[in-house]
Amino acid sequence: MRRLLDCFYAPYAALVLVLLIPPVCLAVILGPTLALRRETGRLAVRLMLLCIGVPLRVRGLQHLPAGSNLVVCNHASYLDGIVLTAVLPRHYSFVVQDGAGRWPLVGQCLSRMGVVFVNRSDSRAGAAATRSLMRKLHAGEALTVFAEGTFEDEAGLLPFKLGAFLMAARCGAPVVPAAIRGSRRLYGGGRKLPRWQPLEIHIAPPLHPEAGDHRTVAVRLRERVREQVLRLCGEPDRDAAEALEQAA
């Protein structure tokens, strides 16, 4: 029955998304203020999920602190960013790889929503982006980061990059562990078409950086946050699995 459902659902959901995404992007791009553009994006994502029949359950919103903080989430699908857009308050800015900024129409939409693009292959550009992000944290803004930096077809949580945690340590900003469940099956695993799957987002209480050397604090904070994200996401630990393979 599940396979039969997927056969009918996949083309329907794909058609709905193809029809809705362009006008949504245009509505966001034409919005006169950042607040309005972000609110348009939030409502549009919820509308799209409703139209394709995907339930969205959120737990732990009360854990989001006021003021400067970083939400660190697992990454399993191209949908993760837009799903979090529908859930997090509109004052959160998203940090994504700069390649997304070159996507036709979608890239301009992301830019107009205040997404911060980071080029990890260019050390100078990456350093400039980091300084810009730290200024945002010092100014009391909130950021959302996918600390794995990418996602793969195979299920499992990848190692976390250190950058977000160094920023948190230097700025004294709390880090909020979060996890998305269901997005890999909905539109991941290398598939060309979506499959029906409910979505869940779990948000844990914030973790605060300790006092001490920034790099040492960042490494410890990364470990603590990753433990929480691993517990919440329900996927295997790819970092531990790869370490065992190398040892064998």
Contacts of 32 (CB under 8 A, 6+ apart): none
User: What is the model's pLDDT at position 129?
Assistant: 82
Confidence (pTM):
0.89
Please tell me the total count of domains within the chain. 1
Q: How far apart are CA 179 and CA 77, in angstroms?
A: 12
pLDDT at 6: 77
- Report the pLDDT value the prediction gives residue 220, as an integer from 0 to 100: 96
Backbone conformation region of residue 155, classed left if phi is above 0, alpha if psi is from -120 to 50, else beta: beta
pLDDT category of residue 247 using cuts at 50, 70 and 90:
very low
φ/ψ of residue 234, rounded to 5: 75, 15
Which is higher by pLDDT, 62 or 190?
A: 62
Summarised one tens digit per residue, pLDDT across range 132-143 is: 899 999 999 999
- With a cut of 60, say whether residue 165 has pLDDT above it: yes
Low-confidence winner among 88-92, 118-122, 155-159, 198-202 (lowest mean pLDDT) = 118-122
Task: Supply the CATH number for residue 219's domain.
Answer: 3.40.1130.10
- Determine the structural domain holding residue 34 and report its residue range: 2-247
Mean pLDDT along residues 86-103: 86
